[in-house]
Amino acid sequence: MMEILNHILTPEFGYSVIRVSTPIVFGTMGAMISSRAGVFNIAIEGIMLLSALLGVLFSAVMPVWIALFLTLVVAGFVGFLLGFLSIKLKSDIFLTGIAFNMIAVGGTIFLLYLASGQKGVSTSINSKVLPRVEIPLLDKIPWIGEPLAGILSNHNILTYLSIVAVIVLYYLVYKTALGLRIRSVGENPDAAESVGINVRKTQYIALIISGVLCGFGGAFMSMGYLSWFSNNMVAGRGFIAMAANGMGGATPVGGFLVALFFGFADAMTNSLQLVTSIKIPVQLIQMLPYLATVIGLVLYNINKRRKAMRIKLMLEDKNK
């Protein structure tokens, strides 16, 4: 136990939590904005996986910032395509999203093979990574400066952008006319349409924004978290992001906090594998983030049912 605490109570562990939470935060924000508009983006996993590959392919032949921009354009287009199929052509959005996730798993391997002749890892592609950013003067703070700098400084620039995204989305959803339209469409599309809101346009915008946010998360996986693409490297983070959005009440701040919780579980997995005194199979340790997701969803649903029961009892007492 002491060896575990020695791993956790270090700046390096805090740094790891923030680092591994980044793609989950982006995915959670993507799930939040689409669910607010009443069009659930189930293709988060696939968009992130495709973006991770495109970040590698584009950055190998052009400057890294242009590569990131083009990756986000494609991710946003996938969000638009998901909207076109579900809103315009009336396909089931859940089945459409699941289909895209399945296509992305095999399609990325095929594209990687066409580009490099490899089917597993893009080691032969000379791709680029996005820069890290050091926060100046943070280590000069008395007493806590050095450990604080060890936790918060020298992250990939997309990690800081994920925090900015949470703030921007909070402002967008609650403080702007577009955010009001998105919330209105998600809560009652018929009522929104009756007051002149273009429901379809609003849902398209939400899905495009969702796709771009997922694109950021996927790009981080291969241009920040790692410096290459590997088969199925997103590893369920898109589904974890959807769970985080639900547990966070489809709010930017709530989703962000739950994403950090899942990031903590993921970082714990990496730390426990370094603790030699624990005689637990590695496969069981690697299950920890997904086990935390399942337990979190169970507790969330139990709490949701209890709240619904309390409301029902209150209404029955009021009617009496």
Sorted by where each begins, the domain ranges of the chain are 2-128+144-319
Mean pLDDT of 6-20: 83
The residue type found at 317 is: D
Strand-pair partners of 132: 156
What is the pLDDT, as a whole number, of residue 7?
A: 66
The answer to whether the CB of 65 falls within 8 A of the CB of 85 is: no
- Cα-Cα-Cα-Cα dihedral sign, residues 230, 124, 71, 95: negative
The answer to whether the CB of 226 falls within 8 A of the CB of 120 is: no
Fold topology of 2-128+144-319 = ABC transporter involved in vitamin B12 uptake, BtuC (1.10.3470)
User: Between these two residues, 208 and 6, which has the higher pLDDT value?
Assistant: 208
What is the pLDDT, as a whole number, of residue 3?
A: 62
Contacts of 215 (CB under 8 A, 6+ apart): 47, 48, 51, 71, 72, 74, 75, 76
Q: In this structure, what token pair is assigned to residue 102? A: 């399945």
What is the pLDDT, as a whole number, of residue 299?
A: 77
pLDDT 10s digits, 165-186: 999 999 999 999 999 999 999 9
Q: What percent of the chain has pLDDT over 90?
A: 56
- DSSP letter for 121, please: B
What is the pLDDT, as a whole number, of residue 119?
A: 82
pLDDT 10s digits, 58-99: 999 999 999 999 999 999 999 999 999 999 999 998 999 999
- Looking up tokens 């095999």 gives 106
pLDDT 10s digits, 198-218: 999 999 999 999 999 999 999
What is the pLDDT, as a whole number, of residue 79?
A: 95
Mean pLDDT of 147-165: 91
The answer to whether the CB of 243 falls within 8 A of the CB of 56 is: no
Average pLDDT, rounded, for the chain: 88
The answer to whether the CB of 130 falls within 8 A of the CB of 68 is: yes
117 Ramachandran zone, left/alpha/beta (phi>0; psi -120 to 50):
left
The closest of 73, 72, 65, 47 to 128, measured between CA atoms, is 65
What is the pLDDT, as a whole number, of residue 314?
A: 75
